[in-house]
Structure 1
């Protein structure tokens, strides 16, 4: 089958931490050459779309329009706007998350916010967890930007946003609303921006638990590339097989 549009993960697929994945870079370039629509869909909330665009150009030989980058941050703001519970939030996260929520008109409230939004924050402190816990206990809507327990880097698999959310879930006994892959919220919005029918689109990524399950759970074809989180030896034991599995995106034919 020839796919008409691609939803593509970034970290572990197009690059790995600070390390290049040249086949991933070439994959995007080939899509551009053939004028095939794509969206770069990432659970990472630490960077703004502009920062991601600059990073891709400067470090990974990928020049891509800003409109092709859809982050869990953007999906989170879209969800908060749709819920319309109020314009206050307490946010655990870095500049990519905090700036977007602020720009959308939300003000910080540490006592009784409408939302507690939790992404990855490398400056996380115990007191931040205390503030979030108390706010959730008072009734704030607990939003997890993405469920990634780990993030692949050149150092190895580091704790991700999902690990922080798991701690808060244990402390509050409240399950967060998850925005990022593999949940429907980010997938449906990305498809909307892509402008391609679900039956003609494919999800591409390195992480079976997030990228590939995003496709499986939301009726999309899937392409697993074993350059990041999910290892080649794990593929045979996966409960539901991806539509396609490759060792390198160079092997893919459009």
Structure 2
């Protein structure tokens, strides 16, 4: 297999499942680090920021460089810092989203003042809170969604993902959001810019075709699908666009 300078790992389903590390993933990451290659970690989870992910990985025996962690909370904040630096931003999400925007010193406001509405996963959503953010969007705020995941892995199976809430809001407002997370390429572009890489030096690694693999394909970099996650090899082989590689275990990439 070709060697790369920027290995971009999905997290949940690829490096760990919930709170349980996937040991072969941890072994693979350590092998890359022994070769002098620090990987990137890319997750659609908007409820966490870089520090949260760094601490979680450390508990699993994986050392991560904080600046090489990209959550959709971080990516959304970086996007808004570039494109909406002077805007008044309403955040609908959890603590990781609020921390990421605070780190960029962005102007976060209440629902009555907002020019921009950024919507991430909010597991405390209620009818009232969803109605509030719906009205912020209906009143003219630019609609940004951290990600479009319909479901998310949980310890007992799957839970409702941010994308399902986004579809509710899009239906209620008649407005489609700008998506930040995979399969959109915002986070991969941030990686490329941060390291000065060319696209042929990058690879996206994950278990989910609709997010991880499509993200890499659309960004025109190589992709590695890892078995045992959301989509099987057989399911993916029915798709028009194929990953660069299929592997049964991550140790095959080193």
- Counterpart Cα distance in 2 of 1:19 and 1:38: 20
Aligned match of 1:92: 92
1:89-238, aligned counterparts within 5 Å? 89-103=89-103, 104-238=105-239
- Counterpart Cα distance in 2 of 1:64 and 1:98: 22
- Counterpart Cα distance in 1 of 2:240 and 2:158: 22
- Asked whether the 8 Å contact 1:16–1:228 carries over to 2, the reply is no
Deviation at 1:85, TM superposition (A): 6.3
Cα deviations by residue, 1:181-238 (Å, 9 ceiling, x for unpaired): 1112222112212332111211111111011001110101000112321124313212
Deviation at 1:84, TM superposition (A): 2.5
Indicate the SS of the match to 2:237.
helix
Indicate the SS of the match to 2:128.
helix
CA distance 1:69–1:85, shift in 2 (3 Å): closer
- Counterpart Cα distance in 2 of 1:138 and 1:93: 19
Cα deviations by residue, 1:5-34 (Å, 9 ceiling, x for unpaired): 211111110001122211111121111111
- Equivalent residue pairs, number: 252
Indicate the SS of the match to 1:70.
strand
Indicate the SS of the match to 1:187.
helix
TM-score, normalization by structure 1: 0.94
Aligned match of 2:24: 23
RMSD of aligned Cα (Å): 1.5
Deviation at 1:165, TM superposition (A): 0.7
Where structure 2 has 5 or more consecutive residues not aligned to the other structure, the ranges are none
- Asked whether the 8 Å contact 1:9–1:211 carries over to 2, the reply is yes
Aligned match of 2:42: 41
- Counterpart Cα distance in 1 of 2:130 and 2:113: 15
- Asked whether the 8 Å contact 1:87–1:106 carries over to 2, the reply is yes
Aligned match of 2:63: 63
TM-score, normalization by structure 2: 0.94
